[in-house]
């Protein structure tokens, strides 16, 4: 900053704000994530509710990506750690990836 010699950094969005962004549109599970869901034995409801208790992963997210920001949330389903990627579109929020997995679902 020209006004100060202090270090300035961006403050990440709070988890509640990211949840509101994810819920701002209808949630859809795209083909790759649906394949991963089946492979991992997870229910659709578990996937759709995941973000409600998960934490925002700032390092792996691209909230400023244009036109479709990506948000990664980390949490647990049935005591197993997962991270799910959400792509925010104009009309819907797409669940695009469930990790980690050893599924052969393609990209």
List the chain pLDDT tens, one digit each, 107 residues.
Answer: 456 666 655 566 788 999 999 999 999 999 999 999 999 999 999 999 999 999 999 999 999 899 999 999 999 999 999 999 999 999 999 999 999 999 999 76
Q: Torsions phi, psi of 49, nearest 5?
A: -95, -10
Count of CA atoms in the C-beta half-sphere (13 A) of 97: 17
User: Whole-angstrom Cα distance, residue 107 to residue 105?
Assistant: 7
Predicted pLDDT of residue 4? 63
Predicted pLDDT of residue 96? 97
Predicted pLDDT of residue 1? 47
Predicted pLDDT of residue 14? 85
Predicted pLDDT of residue 42? 98
Per the CB < 8 A criterion, the answer to whether 68 and 52 are in contact is no
Predicted pLDDT of residue 3? 62
Give the sign of the dihedral formed by CA 59, CA 62, CA 13, CA 77. Answer: negative
Predicted pLDDT of residue 107? 62
């Amino acid at each position: 900053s020209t006004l100060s010699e202090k270090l300035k950094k961006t403050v990440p969005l709070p988890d509640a704000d990211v949840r509101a962004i994810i819920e701002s549109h209808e949630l859809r599970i795209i083909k790759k994530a649906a394949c991963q869901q089946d492979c991992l034995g997870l229910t659709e409801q578990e996937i759709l509710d995941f973000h409600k208790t998960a934490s925002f992963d700032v390092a792996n997210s691209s909230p400023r990506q244009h036109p479709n920001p990506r948000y990664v949330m980390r949490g647990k389903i049935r005591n197993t750690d997962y991270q799910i990627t959400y792509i925010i579109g104009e009309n819907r929020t797409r669940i695009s990836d469930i990790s980690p997995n050893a599924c052969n679902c393609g990209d």
